[in-house]
């Protein structure tokens, strides 16, 4: 069970390897002449922005990967989903998220999550996030060899 947990967490980590590449792109060149005044459209919602600019949405990635419904529920109920969205899309450092699978949560004593306060649930989510990009070469296996 534990190797599967490590493999699942690592697979989510690999999904975030592209984040620094997105932020490392050079800014677009300024237009040659000032554009004509046009009424501005309403501000884009995060999902609209994500669709049009390739912005990273953690919950969509986790949903697509599957087996992370409990962690997604924690992200949403604690509002940490919004913090992660901002951190991933407003910084150049990226994030590493070690998202526990549903099976990992099932290993907890029954009712454990229900006994946690909202603050404790938020801390639980934050415990699985490192606020910087980590490459696979920075990890070692249990026997001390590097992943890459």
- Distances, alpha carbon 15 to alpha carbons 19, 62, 108, 122, in Å: 9, 9, 26, 22
* Residue 145 domain-assigned (yes or no): no
* Residue 146 domain-assigned (yes or no): no
* Residue 32 domain-assigned (yes or no): no
Which tens digit of pLDDT belongs to each residue from 58-98?
A: 899 999 999 999 999 999 999 999 888 888 887 777 888 99
* SS3 label, residue 148: coil
Judged on CB neighbours under 10 Å (0-12, 13-18, 19+), 31 is: exposed
% residues pLDDT > 70 (the chain): 61
Looking at residue 34, its pLDDT comes to 42
Structural domains of the chain, count: 1
Residue 100 has pLDDT above 90, yes or no: yes
- Which residue segment(s) compose the domain that 87 sits in? 2-20+53-138
Is the entire prediction scored with pTM above 0.95? no
Residue 21 has pLDDT above 60, yes or no: no
* Residue 46 domain-assigned (yes or no): no
* Residue 31 domain-assigned (yes or no): no
Highest mean pLDDT among 51-55, 85-89, 92-96, 108-112: 108-112
Task: Supply φ then ψ for residue 78, to 5 degrees.
Answer: -95, -5
d(C-alpha 120, C-alpha 66), whole Å: 25
Tell me the pLDDT band of 138, cut-offs 50, 70 and 90. Answer: confident
* Residue 25 domain-assigned (yes or no): no
* Residue 39 domain-assigned (yes or no): no
Tell me the average pLDDT of the chain: 73
d(C-alpha 39, C-alpha 1), whole Å: 57
């Amino acid at each position: 069970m534990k190797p599967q947990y490590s493999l699942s967490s690592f697979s989510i980590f690999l999904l975030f390897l592209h984040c620094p590449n997105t932020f490392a792109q050079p800014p677009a060149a300024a237009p040659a002449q000032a554009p004509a005044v046009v009424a501005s459209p309403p501000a884009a919602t995060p999902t609209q922005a994500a669709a049009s600019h390739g912005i990273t949405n953690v919950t969509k990635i986790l949903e697509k990967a599957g087996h992370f419904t409990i962690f997604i529920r924690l992200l949403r109920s604690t509002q940490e989903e919004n913090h992660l969205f901002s951190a991933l899309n407003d910084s150049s450092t990226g994030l590493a998220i070690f998202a526990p699978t549903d099976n990992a949560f099932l290993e907890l004593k029954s009712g454990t999550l229900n006994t946690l306060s909202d603050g404790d649930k938020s801390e639980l989510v934050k415990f699985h996030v490192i606020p910087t990009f980590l490459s696979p070469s920075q990890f070692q296996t249990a026997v001390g060899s590097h992943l890459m």
